[in-house]
Chain A
Amino acid sequence: MKHILIFFTALQLAPLAVSETAALDFHKEILPVLERRCFDCHGADKQKSGLRVDSRAALLKGGDFGAAIVPGDAAGSHLVEVIVSSDDDVKMPPKGERLTIAEIESLKKWIAQGALWPGQMDAVAEAKITSSHWSFQPLAKTFAHDSLDDFLGTAKTPEADRRTLIRRVTLDLTGLPPTPEEVDAFVKDKDARAYEKVVERLLASKHYGERWAQHWLDVIRYADTRGYEYNSLRENTWPYRDWVIDALNHDLPYDQFLFQQIAGDTVGVDPATGFLVTAPLPTPPEIGQEPNAIKAARFNALDEIIQNVGASMLGLTVGCARCHNHKFDPIPSRDYYRMLSVFSGVQYESRPWRTSDQKQRIDDLQKTEARLAELRKELKKFPHWRDSGAGQYSDHFTPVKAKFVRLTVLATDEVNNGPAFDEIEVWAAEAPGIAPLNVALAGRGGKTTSSGAAKQLGSKDEFLNDRKTGKDSVWVAAKRPPVWIEVELKDALDIDRITWSRDQDLFRQDPNRHKTRLSTAWRIDVAEHAGEWRTLIHESRSNGLNVTAMNERRYLEEEMEKLTASLSTLKTGPEVFAGKFTEPQLINILMRGDPQQPRDPVGPGGLEVLHGFELPADAPETERRTAFAKWLSHEAAPLTARVAVNRLWHHHFGSGLVSTPSDFGLVGARPTYPELLDWLATQLITDGWSLKKMHQRIVMSAAYRQSSFSFSRKHAAQVATTFTRAPHRLDAETIRDSMLATSGQLDRKMGGNGVNLFTRKSSFAQWKPLNVPPTGANRRMIYLARIRGADDGMFKTFDVPECGQVKDKRSDSTTPLQALNLLNGKFTLEQSAALAQRITTEAGADLPKQITRAFQLTLARPPGEHELTACLAVAQSDGLETVCRALFNSNEFLFLP
């Protein structure tokens, strides 16, 4: 990447040296001050705020807040700012005596004179950022082994029995239990590929995507509400959730999976960028009207994007560099703000969704808008042209000076009625320093008169220029044409357009009904002084044009009318909450993250330590995200691939090879088995970034298939490497979905708007579970609307993320409140009843058979002798549903074996 080398030449110095007084003695007047007052905290031993002041290059390079000095500009130098400041948060030195006035003046003078540092004038700012930290290194090139089992040594414990194995892999890959038939088939299958076939079937199942999408959505705290106080529904978030499920099911290569979430709009995949805008965000009324608060809120919104990208894709806590250089990782503040600049055009809004059938529509819309712009340009060469579409009629003409404007209607589309208008606009011509403006408005001094308004209909001349449209503010002529309406402007000035409308509201509702009292022929007269009328536009509209020119104009106008009419249809279409991309804002490094303290401006770029790209500060919006997305799977690939395979490992084994899946930085955990992690990352890339192949590799391994697994070995560099795969509690989604699947109530419909199980009492964050569940309530949990903070009375206690902060792994707590919910919750009672019903239907009248069926459905095995006896007794005394209720609460049901 490019580095800015800062040299200081004598040529630049010359004029300054003249303007200031006598030269300073650096070694006597400057260096001792720096040594005495600054070096302790900003020297070789310590670099508070990432700043050193013990060399000229270091001063130029600066610290967290940009350059410390700007040679020649004392007032603009951060160093001067802090030594003169009296603000406790800013002033330097922070404690003890301040610099003397003489010392301050010397330093100012020194900087003003070019900050001459004898012997260092050719020194350049410190070399680029490098790091020896493991996760920033290239992937290992050679490996001692070439299969997972070889890496882990040969299997030491026997493979789990088939019922356990199929239950484990099915719950793990799909989040649903295997059916008794699937279990049976596998138990009986003599084929050596029996297990492999199961794995292939599961990876091909649509339920795989539903299961693994949730892991990803956790990290980026996807939800369907805005959070904070209003916490209202965010419309059209679901296409992103569906996109993630679909991408996983179709095994979209992981590099593209990343690319599309950053810049999917550039390849026609709109929902994917929903990734950028999942964070909770306060709405404008919750931010308030103070300008500083509004500015700060925007930076917070951008920071949330960095949190998402950093945690999920890079496995780095880039956000820590917002207020100062990252305390631990080689991420300077500059990098943070460069990343911010990449996303600085992203707004948390919806945009049109170009689905495959919608793509044509959007393309047509864009083409139409482009053609309209061309037409306007072409029509400008005529002294007069008319634009009549979408219920508004505009006469454009070469600017003319006028104070009085009169529109005389000569005919309407109805023989018996006079015309109607809801508004007439007279537009001042655009000129240097003058914006086009409707000067007819009463608020701008316009006065309207007419040949007579229909008073019996409540019509008034004031309706013509009151800015109000619609039936309560429509001027209706008292008689049939010819009639006129007139505007007297406040002052005579150059105008170039007159626009009128019949009834814009009515037009929007029904363009046909709008065709009553509609003017069809008119003339426009203007006067600079009262009474001195001259006709600006004749009824014939010839205005001195010959027939050929008039025909040419007519063709253009007709095309324009047609295109304008088609616009509104083209504009309506589905939308997706996937960010709106607007002109990027110029980003400065912010001192202490404070928008009120901007420092050096920065352009968009990637992390320097990972050879990040760098674009100019005025790079187009799309280019920024595209460059970033490409960088992720190219220069940053060693890191992104490691993060990806570790995430898969984490979910398959219960903990990752790196136990902090979203922090691969210096504070994060180190990989317990670095060679294995690198080998897996290399395999991911070699496999064309296929996630399914990685899943397959992992679940096919002996380690995964053993009844329980633990691995330990001595390590050259570290004490030991150990990890285990042991039973752990299912997460909320899997418990709920499994209950529904076994009770036979699971609705397997995929996709679409989230099913909302809550109702919002009053207008604020008071979501309560609905008493009567809506249609679709029994769909998989991933298809339920995720309402931030809402308590469903069942599963919130099972560590469902709050969706406020990024969440790479859930805790699996065990609490009495979980027990109460699962024992007594309405959901459990309903599903217990449904399961009882199901087994009665499926197993016939024989009670032991019914109980056996219940065990097969819930636990993938028949009951043992004692279990059957105990269950029979309970079924007889308290009903089958009581047995089912106990099964749903049992440890065996709730744990991934």
Chain B
Amino acid sequence: MNCTDHTKHLDRRSFLSNIATSAGGIALAQLLAREGLFAADEKPQPIRPNIDPGRPFGARKPHFPAKAEQVLIIFCAGAVSHLDTWDYKPELYKHHGKVPPNAPKVTFQGPIGNLAKPFWDFKPRGQSGKMISDLVPHLAELADDMCFIHSLTAKNSAHTQAENLLSTGFTFEGYPSLGAWTTYALGTLNENLPSFVAIADPRGRPQAGPNNWGSGFLPAAFQGTAFSADEPPQNLKTAMGVKESANKATVDLLAKLNGEHLEKHPGNTDLTARISSYELAGRMQSSIPGLMDIAGENVKTLEAYGATSSNVIKAEYARNCLLARRLLEQGVRVVQLFNGAYASGGKLNWDSHAEIVSSHGAHAEILDQPTAALLRDLKQRGQLDKTLVVWCTEFGRMPFMQANGTGRDHNIEGFTCWMMGAGVKPGISIGSTDELGWKAAEDVKTLYDFNATILHLLGLNHERLTHYFNGTERRLTDVHGHVIKDILA
């Protein structure tokens, strides 16, 4: 039985034979029945993407028709306090300063302090009257487009493990990211650009770093390409000192050498795939610089995004937002836009263990206006009709202070993320935390559910998008996850 050998995706022979022999699950079931040792549960059969090695990124059909063709993931690293942004808890005002009931002495970072009300005022927003805080006034204006999930739960209180869980479905290292799974399944809409782009925050990479856009055990082809407005993809251009004529001569000579070589190995598709990868590289070299040049944007747009802000980090994040819009417009399948970098005592990301007022305040100033401008722009250009937007953070924060009295510790038992755009009901909220905003209480959802829903919105069945690795068919949602049907438009 050879059905489990799926590592050679980009191999032409298996591509061609795949069509005939993709009945792996049946063979497995027979095997199990014959062995008779353990009863096999009836499992959904894997759907293998049929990848042409000559065009590994060629667009592939989803498992079922879906509105969302592309996805933008806005990832706030460090854990945004849901209690100071999206999850309004009037009870917290009443109990402000009191000892939290039934609380452990110690949470992730150490001893706990007293309950604390939100540090920013909440106001009703939009038609829906959704209560959102003044920390994010620009985003709050889009309340009617947002679909909130207030009852999310995570599995591990440490940033890296939790970011891994959010991005890959496992707390451990080395599993494929959502973007990798998506492009593995769907390819991309514009092969002249990378299929999956990870735009790092101007201040650095998030804590789980490249795990967030890694390919894990999927072929490296599906890892995200890291670049941002101010940092082009590596090696797009030749290092200084090489003349353009030399570049052209190299490529032309290479084509000749490869052509001669191919004549000795007619029909070897691994070789032809390699030849076409150089042609594709050439097209990327001509298309990306134009995409990164925002000089063409009018001043009004630049101002709307905050790209002219005197806050240089905000201005650069705003340029990243502009880049995200352009990438989506050009058909990039997955864009992951980071806001917040690595652990730094809350200075470079949202991890406000102390001085939450200044720390969250500074990060929101960077996030709010540019992100809101991006979303408005996408909507106005009709891009939201086919793009799913996901705003996420690895977990929430506690309703009580830490012993220092100025910051909130990690909270994995209840927090908020939201979505908008293609396939999502606008202006609704589902699930809730308890009255203190501590633990998810109603309609409790896991990050597996969250990721299952994202895949579903992209037309992918999270139980059938699998890859055999280390003894089992692995998937983004491990062995969990239910699509959150309530939010589907």
In the complex where A662-B470, A663-B470, A804-B174 touch, is A789 in contact with B210 (Cβ < 8 A)? yes
Q: Let me know if A805 and B257 touch, CB within 8 A.
A: no
Q: How far is the CB of B415 from chain A (nearest CB, A)?
A: 17
In the complex where A793-B234, A804-B172 touch, is A878 in contact with B273 (Cβ < 8 A)? no
Q: How far is the CA of A259 from the CA of B263 in the complex (A)?
A: 50
Q: How far is the CA of A282 from the CA of B158 in the complex (A)?
A: 9
Q: Let me know if A824 and B175 touch, CB within 8 A.
A: no
Q: Let me know if B253 and A874 touch, CB within 8 A.
A: yes
**Chain B residues near A878 (CB, 8 Å)?**
243, 245-246, 249-250
**Chain A residues near B215 (CB, 8 Å)?**
802
In the complex where A47-B39, A282-B161, A867-B260 touch, is A817 in contact with B225 (Cβ < 8 A)? yes
Q: How far is the CB of A431 from chain B (nearest CB, A)?
A: 32
In the complex where A282-B158, A669-B2, A829-B239 touch, is A229 in contact with B471 (Cβ < 8 A)? no
Q: Is B258 an interface residue (CB 8 A)?
A: yes
Question: Chain B residue with minimal CB distance to A303?
Answer: B172
Q: Is A727 an interface residue (CB 8 A)?
A: yes
Q: Let me know if A890 and B221 touch, CB within 8 A.
A: no
Q: Is A862 an interface residue (CB 8 A)?
A: no
A806-820 residues with Cβ-Cβ distance < 8 A to B are 806-807, 809-820
Q: Is B472 an interface residue (CB 8 A)?
A: yes
In the complex where A766-B342, A819-B277, A878-B246 touch, is A891 in contact with B253 (Cβ < 8 A)? no
Q: Let me know if B4 and A668 touch, CB within 8 A.
A: yes
Q: Is A864 an interface residue (CB 8 A)?
A: yes
B102-136 residues with Cβ-Cβ distance < 8 A to A are 104, 106-110
Q: Is B217 an interface residue (CB 8 A)?
A: yes
A514-564 residues with Cβ-Cβ distance < 8 A to B are none
Q: How far is the CA of A874 from the CA of B256 in the complex (A)?
A: 12
In the complex where A311-B470, A667-B4 touch, is A891 in contact with B258 (Cβ < 8 A)? yes
**Chain B residues near A890 (CB, 8 Å)?**
254, 257-258, 261
Q: Let me know if B344 and A762 touch, CB within 8 A.
A: yes
Q: How far is the CA of A891 from the CA of B277 in the complex (A)?
A: 12
In the complex where A728-B270, A766-B205 touch, is A824 in contact with B470 (Cβ < 8 A)? no
B271-294 residues with Cβ-Cβ distance < 8 A to A are 271, 273-275, 277-278, 280-281, 284-285
Q: Let me know if A885 and B250 touch, CB within 8 A.
A: yes
Q: How far is the CA of A727 from the CA of B258 in the complex (A)?
A: 15
Q: Is B251 an interface residue (CB 8 A)?
A: yes
In the complex where A821-B234, A867-B256 touch, is A320 in contact with B472 (Cβ < 8 A)? yes
Q: Let me know if A871 and B275 touch, CB within 8 A.
A: no
Report how many residues on chain B are interfacial, defined by Cβ distance under 8 Å.
101
**Chain B residues near A819 (CB, 8 Å)?**
277-278, 280-281
User: Which of A311, A672, A824, A879 contacts B235 (CB under 8 A)?
Assistant: A824
Q: Let me know if B343 and A317 touch, CB within 8 A.
A: no
B45-59 residues with Cβ-Cβ distance < 8 A to A are 53, 56
**Chain B residues near A316 (CB, 8 Å)?**
471
Q: How far is the CA of A818 from the CA of B274 in the complex (A)?
A: 10
Q: How far is the CA of A881 from the CA of B389 in the complex (A)?
A: 47
Determine, out of B30-38, B417-425, B445-453, the stretch whose residues face the partner at the interface: B30-38
**Chain B residues near A874 (CB, 8 Å)?**
249-250, 252-253
In the complex where A816-B284, A823-B250 touch, is A293 in contact with B261 (Cβ < 8 A)? no
- Among A45, A669, A811, the most chain B Cβ lie within 10 Å of the Cβ of A811
Q: Is B407 an interface residue (CB 8 A)?
A: no
Q: Is A117 an interface residue (CB 8 A)?
A: no
Q: Let me know if A229 and B207 touch, CB within 8 A.
A: yes
**Chain A residues near B249 (CB, 8 Å)?**
874, 877-878, 882, 886
Q: How far is the CB of A125 from chain B (nearest CB, A)?
A: 17
Q: How far is the CB of A620 from chain B (nearest CB, A)?
A: 31
**Chain A residues near B5 (CB, 8 Å)?**
655, 659-660, 669
**Chain A residues near B32 (CB, 8 Å)?**
328, 666
Q: Per-residue CB proximity of A860-889 to B under 8 Å, as 1/0?
A: 000010110011001001110011011101
Q: Let me know if B156 and A221 touch, CB within 8 A.
A: no
- Among B40, B106, B204, B471, the most chain A Cβ lie within 10 Å of the Cβ of B471
Question: Chain A residue with minimal CB distance to B265?
Answer: A727
Q: Is B370 an interface residue (CB 8 A)?
A: no
**Chain A residues near B194 (CB, 8 Å)?**
817
**Chain B residues near A668 (CB, 8 Å)?**
4, 471
**Chain A residues near B175 (CB, 8 Å)?**
804-805
Determine, out of A1-9, A209-217, A283-291, the stretch whose residues face the partner at the interface: A283-291
Q: How far is the CB of B60 from chain A (nearest CB, A)?
A: 16
User: DSSP majority for the A interface?
Assistant: loop
Q: Is B82 an interface residue (CB 8 A)?
A: no
Q: How far is the CB of A888 from chain B (nearest CB, A)?
A: 9
Q: Is B1 an interface residue (CB 8 A)?
A: yes
In the complex where A793-B235, A823-B238 touch, is A799 in contact with B277 (Cβ < 8 A)? no
Q: Let me know if B250 and A764 touch, CB within 8 A.
A: no
Q: Is B220 an interface residue (CB 8 A)?
A: yes
Question: Chain A residue with minimal CB distance to B252?
Answer: A874
User: Which of A132, A133, A229, A797 contacts B342 (CB under 8 A)?
Assistant: A229
Question: Chain A residue with minimal CB distance to B54?
Answer: A814
Q: How far is the CA of A319 from the CA of B107 in the complex (A)?
A: 29
A191-233 residues with Cβ-Cβ distance < 8 A to B are 221, 227-229, 231
Q: Let me know if A891 and B261 touch, CB within 8 A.
A: yes
User: Which of A325, A665, A728, A824 contacts B237 (CB under 8 A)?
Assistant: A824
Q: Let me know if B35 and A132 touch, CB within 8 A.
A: yes
Q: How far is the CA of A147 from the CA of B106 in the complex (A)?
A: 67
Q: Let me know if B108 and A290 touch, CB within 8 A.
A: yes
A18-74 residues with Cβ-Cβ distance < 8 A to B are 45-47, 50
Q: Let me know if B174 and A820 touch, CB within 8 A.
A: no
Question: Chain A residue with minimal CB distance to B257?
Answer: A890
Q: Is A788 an interface residue (CB 8 A)?
A: yes
Q: Let me know if B37 and A665 touch, CB within 8 A.
A: no
Q: Let me know if B35 and A131 touch, CB within 8 A.
A: yes
Q: Let me know if B236 and A824 touch, CB within 8 A.
A: yes
Q: Let me know if B220 and A798 touch, CB within 8 A.
A: yes
Q: How far is the CA of A132 from the CA of B32 in the complex (A)?
A: 12
Q: Is B28 an interface residue (CB 8 A)?
A: yes
Q: Is B211 an interface residue (CB 8 A)?
A: yes
Q: Is A600 an interface residue (CB 8 A)?
A: no
Q: How far is the CB of B257 from chain A (nearest CB, A)?
A: 5
In the complex where A289-B108, A765-B205, A804-B211 touch, is A811 in contact with B173 (Cβ < 8 A)? no
User: Which of A317, A796, A805, A895 contacts B172 (CB under 8 A)?
Assistant: A805
Q: Let me know if A805 and B174 touch, CB within 8 A.
A: yes
User: Which of A228, A290, A659, A814 contacts B106 (CB under 8 A)?
Assistant: A290
Q: Is A791 an interface residue (CB 8 A)?
A: yes
**Chain B residues near A793 (CB, 8 Å)?**
234-235
User: Which of B11, B208, B250, B280 contacts A229 (CB under 8 A)?
Assistant: B208
Q: How far is the CA of A823 from the CA of B217 in the complex (A)?
A: 26
Q: Let me know if A289 and B106 touch, CB within 8 A.
A: yes
Q: How far is the CB of A230 from chain B (nearest CB, A)?
A: 9
**Chain B residues near A886 (CB, 8 Å)?**
249-250, 253-254, 257
Question: Chain B residue with minimal CB distance to A793?
Answer: B234
List 17 additional contacts besides A820-B236, A878-B245; criterion CB under 8 Å: A131-B35, A229-B208, A288-B157, A289-B108, A293-B108, A317-B472, A325-B38, A659-B5, A762-B204, A764-B343, A804-B172, A804-B175, A806-B470, A813-B10, A824-B238, A870-B253, A886-B253
> Which 6 pairs between the two chains have the least Cβ-Cβ distance?
A804-B174, A317-B471, A804-B173, A805-B174, A819-B281, A659-B5
Name B residues whose Cβ lies closer than 8 Å to a Cβ of A: 1-5, 7-11, 28, 31-32, 35, 37-40, 53, 56, 104, 106-110, 156-161, 172-175, 194, 204-205, 207-211, 214-221, 223, 225-226, 233-239, 242-243, 245-247, 249-254, 256-258, 260-262, 265, 268, 270-271, 273-275, 277-278, 280-281, 284-285, 342-344, 410, 468-472
25 A–B contacts from the bound complex (CB under 8 Å): A47-B39, A132-B35, A289-B109, A290-B104, A293-B158, A660-B5, A669-B3, A727-B265, A729-B270, A805-B174, A805-B217, A805-B469, A811-B10, A814-B221, A814-B274, A815-B221, A816-B278, A816-B284, A817-B194, A820-B234, A870-B256, A878-B243, A891-B261, A891-B271, A895-B270
